[in-house]
């Protein structure tokens, strides 16, 4: 199994603000963190000869190492549907662009769509994805995830209601759930546990009551993650109310779908009752700010959800409604959006960074110690603070704002999943120029020192 020694990085553990260890080695073994600090290099050196020769090394001197970004809501099947029609709301956009596009896939186009989306994610520091597939060709998604090395939780989408779904993209409840069970037998727990199957009813509007209840039962019986959309758009909420007499989340609860392994994408149109319900059921929300703005859905009340005790993660949604898969852009928006309605500061940069990393991992149902504790999953991103014009100076006090508001995918120099380097950029310069050479850093330091002293 894999061995990885990350040398000399500044470790940002994200368990609490200030959990920072400068110039520290990290040793990962069989996908888990074995040791940090002086013991890491010693363990690597003490491995028996043939193993020692195969230890992968990553020079992280001058760089920041932190838990990898998690996309808690994605549609890899939509990567090739990027840059479609603009200025549509959810339901006409689904009917006119996304559903015909998903129905037109064959295994070959699905494979390209998945591989392209995963590459985009890995190169932006994403280590894990909660993906909503489509009705057919799900094996192509799992095959792409298996080959790429990314951590992947996904499954076939369930849509069976003839009143609301097109014939070309519909499967009966029996057919859809049988497909989820088939995927489970083939992929759940594969690749050393890196792949997992989620029960994925698309949204209440696309599913019959019988399907939703059976899906909840399957998820409960098998201990699977439930991944669905809810309360994204006013028209969607009105449809659910008209058909069930209940609010969207109250209805999902009534059919048994809300629980500690449930991740709800969006939750934009929610109120105090919904916050309390989500908190009581310990269900997570995947906040997708770019998608919500692009489809004019509204703004998820993240500070209120968090205050009620709801776990909130981040997602890019599909490339068809974003149109990029980039955790930095979602972090930036997530941090800025509460400013529309609140005084400054309802979400700190540290809060946002946790939403993009450890809160996301929990939403994907990934248990285990956090940060750099021994036994924590070695899913990591390495950032170069000298790239991207972020100019961090006294970062030892506040590196989080630099990551959330200044850095971007160009700052990512390596992405590690399960203790294996799955993306590595040898030359992290932009067009051959590294924007923060030593003289710039020194000037920043001098200027800020004078500001503090004045
Ligand atoms: Zn979505």
Residue-level pLDDT, tens digit, the chain, 454 residues? 799 999 999 999 999 999 999 999 999 999 999 999 999 999 999 999 888 889 999 999 989 999 999 999 999 999 999 988 888 989 999 999 999 999 999 999 999 999 999 999 999 999 999 999 999 999 999 999 999 999 999 999 999 999 999 999 999 999 999 999 999 999 999 999 999 999 999 999 999 999 999 999 999 999 999 999 999 999 999 999 999 999 999 999 999 999 999 999 999 999 999 999 999 999 999 999 999 999 999 999 999 999 999 999 999 999 999 999 999 999 999 999 999 887 777 899 999 999 999 999 999 999 889 999 999 999 999 999 887 677 766 555 579 999 999 999 999 999 999 999 999 987 555 555 555 667 777 777 787 788 788 8
Coil, strand or helix at 69: strand
Q: Rounded to 10 degrees, what is the CA torsion of 249, 250, 256, 262?
A: 30
299 alpha carbon to ligand 1 midpoint, in Å? 15
Distance from residue 228's CA to the centre of ligand 1 (Å): 8
Nearest-10 Cα torsion for 400, 404, 408, 412:
40
Q: How far is the CA of 304 from the centre of ligand 1 (A)?
A: 22
Instruction: Find the 302 Cα to ligand 1 centroid distance in Å.
Output: 17
189 CA → ligand 1 middle, Å? 24
Distance, CA 54 to ligand 1 centroid (Å)? 41
Burial classification of residue 405, based on how many CB atoms lie within 10 Å of its CB (0-12 exposed, 13-18 middle, 19 or more buried):
middle
DSSP H or E segment with residue 227? strand 225-230
Contact 290, 333 (CB under 8 A): yes
Phi, psi dihedral angles at 251 (to 5 degrees): -65, -45
Cα of 229 to ligand 1 centre, how many Å?
Answer: 6
- Strand positions, DSSP E, 291-356: 311-314, 317-318
232 alpha carbon – ligand 1 mean position (Å): 9
Which whole-number Å values give the CA distances from 405 to 72, 289, 400, 435, in the listed order?
A: 20, 15, 8, 17
Q: What is the C-alpha to C-alpha distance for residues 440 and 446, in angstroms, rounded to an integer? A: 10
3-state secondary structure 334-377: HHHHHHHCCCCCCCCHHHHHHHHCHHHHHHCCCCCCCCCCCCCE
- Separation between Cα atoms, residue 400 and residue 16, nearest integer Å: 11
Compute the distance from residue 217 Cα to the ligand 1 centre, in Å: 23
Ligand 1 center to residue 340 CA distance, Å?
24
User: What is the residue whose two structure tokens read 């992968």?
Assistant: 56
Q: For residue 201, report the distance from its CA to the centre of ligand 1, in Å.
A: 11
**20 alpha carbon – ligand 1 mean position (Å):** 34
Give 132 Cα–ligand 1 centroid separation in angstroms: 7
**Distance from the CA of 291 to the center of ligand 1, in angstroms?**
8
Centroid of ligand 1 to alpha carbon of 358 (angstroms): 21
Q: Measured between alpha carbons, how far is 50 from 228 in angstroms, rounded to an integer?
A: 47
Q: Are 65 and 412 in contact (CB under 8 A)?
A: no
**Backbone angle region of 137, left / alpha / beta, with phi > 0 → left and psi within -120 to 50 → alpha:** left
Tokens of 249: 């989340």
Residue whose structure tokens are 């491995």: 47
Contacting residues for 188 by C-beta, under 8 A, at least 6 apart: 195, 196, 197, 222, 224
Q: Model-level pTM?
A: 0.95
């Amino acid at each position: 199994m894999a061995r990885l020694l990350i040398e000399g990085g500044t470790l940002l553990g994200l368990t609490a603000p200030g959990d920072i260890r400068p110039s520290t080695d990290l040793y990962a073994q069989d996908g888990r963190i074995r040791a940090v600090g002086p013991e890491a290099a010693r363990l690597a050196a003490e491995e028996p000869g043939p193993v020692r020769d195969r230890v992968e090394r990553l020079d992280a001197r001058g760089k920041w190492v932190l838990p990898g970004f998690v996309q808690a809501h994605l549609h890899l099947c939509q990567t090739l549907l990027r840059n479609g029609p603009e200025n549509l709301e959810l339901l006409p956009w689904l009917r006119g662009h996304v559903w015909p596009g998903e129905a037109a896939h064959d295994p070959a186009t699905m494979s390209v769509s998945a591989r392209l989306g995963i590459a985009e994610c890995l190169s932006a520091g994403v280590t894990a994805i909660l993906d909503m597939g489509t009705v057919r060709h799900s094996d192509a998604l799992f095959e792409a995830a298996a080959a790429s090395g990314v951590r992947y939780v996904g499954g076939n989408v369930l849509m069976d209601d003839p009143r609301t779904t097109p014939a070309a993209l519909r499967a009966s409840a029996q057919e859809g759930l049988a497909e989820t069970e088939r995927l489970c037998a083939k992929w759940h727990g594969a690749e050393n546990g890196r792949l997992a199957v989620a029960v994925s009813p698309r949204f209440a509007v696309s599913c019959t009551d019988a399907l939703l209840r059976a899906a909840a039962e399957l998820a409960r019986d098998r201990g699977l993650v439930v991944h669905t959309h809810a309360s994204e758009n006013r028209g969607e909420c009105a449809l659910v109310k008209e058909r069930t007499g209940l609010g969207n989340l109250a209805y999902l609860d009534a059919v048994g779908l809300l629980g500690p392994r449930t991740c709800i994408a969006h939750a934009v149109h929610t109120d105090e009752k919904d916050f309390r319900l989500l908190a009581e059921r310990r269900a997570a929300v995947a906040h997708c700010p770019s998608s919500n703005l692009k489809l004019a859905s509204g703004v998820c009340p993240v500070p209120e959800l968090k205050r009620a005790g709801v776990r909130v993660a981040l997602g890019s949604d599909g490339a068809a409604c974003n149109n990029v898969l980039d955790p930095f852009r979602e972090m930036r928006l997530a941090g800025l959006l509460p400013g529309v309605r609140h005084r400054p500061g309802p979400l700190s940069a540290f809060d946002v960074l946790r939403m993009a990393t450890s809160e996301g991992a929990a939403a994907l149902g990934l248990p285990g110690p956090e940060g750099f504790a021994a036994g924590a999953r070695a899913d990591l991103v390495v950032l170069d603070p000298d790239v991207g014009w972020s100019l961090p100076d006294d970062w030892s006090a506040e590196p989080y704002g630099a990551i959330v508001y200044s850095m971007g995918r160009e700052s990512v120099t390596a992405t590690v999943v399960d203790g294996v380097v799955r993306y590595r950029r040898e030359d992290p310069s932009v067009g051959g120029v590294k924007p923060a050479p030593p003289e710039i850093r020194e000037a920043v330091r001098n200027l800020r020192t004078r500001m503090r002293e004045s």
